[in-house]
């Protein structure tokens, strides 16, 4: 085959596009919730260990596999993986990755559309003089599709389709479109993030409201940043930490391989991969944890945050909290915060479109327009159930299967392919070729043994998660000849569908929680 003609316009473009891919809704919405739900300071240590032992290795694996594939003019995981392993099965593993992208993009762009809508409502002052329960109610009505707060029927559907169309239009411009989106979105995102984080950190005593006189922003930060070592023995926390690391670094789906396939043969990947990873972590642990948690804790108290931590929290509370800063400031805060979410979201959802487009190009020679529109059509078909049936917890099912389980499975398989089929010696050469930094030699060992082993452990624990995550109780029960009681969230139960009903029930309750509680 001929060498690929398409390539990133500049090194800056590549870095911003890769950073845009990684930095997403995961950093600002998913991380704080995961941290809070898993014990705050108890979450941080497993999280950082997962970053070093699985995150960085997988980044190196994906960047080098991608650039390797690009040498043979391959731009999608089915072709890249096929070129690394002899057996045909690797091509199908690659195809599996493509469909993960489509399932994730389906619900991811939905949150993106909420962000855009909330930018508009912040500008038009919709939230002015609303009470906390009214703001929460606004969200509940919005996602209940047909009952809408603004009088526009199916507002949520309309904006969902609009955001999807925007993604398609940018994607049909190819790498140049992605670079441009990243060049506009990323600097603004960082700027907005810093402004809001400074505000969150300096909220201090001024955050007190008459409603919650004990509320204090620092309680939230202390809770997050006081390490607790007892959690190291809790598999549930490890699972959540690993899941968050995969999601936030965008590994386990093939988007990084696809971006890396357009890097020139002799160009550095080691330094780029590691810096993109650290940049994402900076945005996540510094900016991501300095906004929602301290601001919500500052006004509503840490107890409230612990009880209500959930995905919609940022939409159900932030517009109200911003109002407390004064009407004028609230407009800016709303635009900064939801604008930040929108930019974070779109630079990531664009990345999720490229594996499909690359595959259609590799397989059928399809051009960008055809690739982008067919991707959009698939995303719409996959996405409509999440939008129309939000109340029934379909959304959470997607996040669980596509956004968590599939990433771990794919990452496990690609780690095996890289170290054991392609071969770690060849792999290590690929990683270091053209490299501008020296990756410590221990990483060769880590990539070969530790990463696949940890991935296997994570996968197995997900498979057999015991009832209510009571690991120690179930282990001693088994040792005493008793039973292992599976949790509804365990993979086995989910696969056999026993847990489905209860899960949907929980999800329905969750989405109404804030509203009910503030009523």
Q: Does 69 bind Na ion (CB under 5 A)?
A: no
In the chain, what are the helix, strand and coil shares in percent, each to the nearest 5? 75, 0, 25
Q: Does 352 bind ligand PHE (CB under 6 A)?
A: yes
Candidates 4, 21, 272, 404; binder of ligand PHE (CB under 6 A) is: 21
Candidates 27, 122, 323, 518; binder of ligand PHE (CB under 6 A) is: 27
Number of residues that bind Na ion (CB under 5 A): 6
φ/ψ of residue 489, rounded to 5? -85, -5
Q: Does 255 bind Na ion (CB under 5 A)?
A: no
d(CA 463, CA 23) in angstroms, rounded, equals: 29
Name the residue nearer to ligand PHE (CB basis): 257 or 518: 257
d(CA 277, CA 249) in angstroms, rounded, equals: 7
User: Do the beta carbons of residue 411 and residue 252 sit within 8 Å?
Assistant: yes
User: Do the beta carbons of residue 38 and residue 236 sit within 8 Å?
Assistant: yes
Residue least distant from ligand PHE (Cβ): 24
First to last CA, the chain: 65
Candidates 22, 156, 260, 382; binder of Na ion (CB under 5 A) is: 22
Name the residue nearer to ligand PHE (CB basis): 247 or 395: 247
Q: Does 172 bind Na ion (CB under 5 A)?
A: no
One symbol per residue from 236 to 275: x for binding ligand PHE (CB under 6 A), - otherwise; what is it? -----------xx-x--x-x--------------------
SS3 sequence of 292-354: HHHHHHHHHCHHHHHHHCCCCHHHHHHHHHHHCCCHHHHHHHHHHHHHHHHHHHHHHHHHHHH
Candidates 20, 24, 200, 393; binder of ligand PHE (CB under 6 A) is: 24
CA quadruple 381, 370, 251, 191: dihedral sign: negative
Q: Does 25 bind ligand PHE (CB under 6 A)?
A: yes
Q: Does 288 bind ligand PHE (CB under 6 A)?
A: no
One symbol per residue from 258 to 297: x for binding Na ion (CB under 5 A), - otherwise; what is it? ----------------------x-----------------
Minimum gap (Å) between residue 407 Cβ and ligand PHE: 7
d(CA 346, CA 24) in angstroms, rounded, equals: 8
Q: Does 351 bind ligand PHE (CB under 6 A)?
A: yes
Q: Torsion-angle region of residue 76: left (phi > 0), alpha (psi -120 to 50) or beta?
A: beta
Name the residue nearer to ligand PHE (CB basis): 137 or 458: 458
Binding site for Na ion (CB under 5 A): 22, 24, 26-27, 248, 280
Positions in the binding site for ligand PHE (CB under 6 A): 21-22, 24-27, 247-248, 250, 253, 255, 348, 351-352
């Amino acid at each position: 085959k001929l060498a690929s003609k398409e390539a990133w316009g500049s090194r800056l473009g590549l870095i911003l596009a890769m950073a845009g891919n990684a930095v997403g809704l995961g950093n600002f919405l998913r991380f704080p919730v995961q941290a809070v739900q898993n014990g705050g300071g108890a979450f941080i240590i497993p999280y950082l260990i997962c970053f070093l032992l699985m995150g960085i290795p997988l980044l190196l694996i994906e960047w080098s596999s991608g650039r390797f594939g690009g040498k043979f003019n391959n731009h999608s995981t089915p072709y890249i993986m096929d070129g690394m392993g002899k057996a045909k099965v690797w091509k199908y593993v690659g195809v599996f990755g493509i469909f993960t992208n489509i399932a994730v993009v389906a619900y991811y762009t939905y949150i993106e559309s909420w962000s855009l809508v909330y930018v508009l409502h912040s500008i038009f002052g919709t939230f002015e003089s609303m009470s906390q329960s009214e703001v929460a109610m606004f969200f509940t009505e919005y996602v209940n599709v047909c009952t809408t707060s603004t009088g526009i029927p199916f507002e949520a559907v309309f904006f969902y389709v609009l955001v999807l169309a925007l993604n398609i239009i940018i994607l049909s411009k190819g790498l140049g479109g992605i670079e441009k989106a990243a060049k506009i979105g990323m600097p603004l995102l960082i700027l907005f993030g810093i402004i809001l984080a400074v505000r969150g950190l300096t909220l201090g005593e001024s955050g007190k409201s008459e409603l919650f006189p004990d509320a204090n922003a620092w309680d939230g930060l202390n809770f997050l940043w006081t390490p607790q070592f007892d959690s190291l023995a809790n598999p549930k926390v490890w699972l959540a930490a690993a899941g968050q690391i995969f999601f936030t670094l965008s590994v386990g789906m093939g988007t990084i391989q696809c971006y890396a396939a357009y890097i020139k043969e002799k160009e550095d990947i080691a330094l780029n991969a590691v810096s993109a990873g650290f940049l994402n972590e900076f945005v996540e642990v510094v900016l991501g944890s300095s906004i929602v948690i301290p601001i919500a804790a500052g006004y509503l108290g840490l107890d409230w945050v612990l009880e209500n931590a959930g995905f919609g929290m940022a939409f159900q509370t932030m517009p109200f909290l911003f109002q407390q800063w004064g009407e004028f400031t609230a407009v800016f805060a709303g635009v900064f915060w939801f604008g930040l979410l929108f930019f974070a979201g779109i630079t990531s959802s664009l990345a999720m479109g490229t594996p499909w487009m690359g595959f259609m190009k590799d397989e059928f020679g399809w051009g960008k327009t055809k690739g982008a529109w067919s991707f959009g059509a698939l995303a719409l078909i996959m996405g409509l159930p999440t939008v129309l049936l939000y109340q029934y917890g379909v959304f959470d099912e997607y996040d669980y299967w596509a956004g968590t389980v599939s990433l771990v499975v794919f990452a496990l398989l690609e780690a095996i392919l890289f170290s054991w089929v392609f071969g770690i010696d060849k792999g290590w050469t690929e990683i270091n070729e053209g490299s501008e930094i020296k990756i410590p030699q221990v990483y060769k060992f880590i990539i070969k043994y530790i990463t696949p082993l940890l991935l296997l452990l994570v996968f197995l624990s997900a498979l057999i998660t015991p009832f209510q995550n009571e690991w120690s109780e179930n282990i001693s029960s088994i040792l005493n000849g008793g039973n292992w009681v599976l949790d509804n969230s365990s993979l086995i139960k989910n696969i056999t569908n026993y847990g489905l009903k209860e899960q949907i029930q929980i999800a329905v309750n969750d989405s109404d929680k804030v509203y009910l509680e503030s009523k």
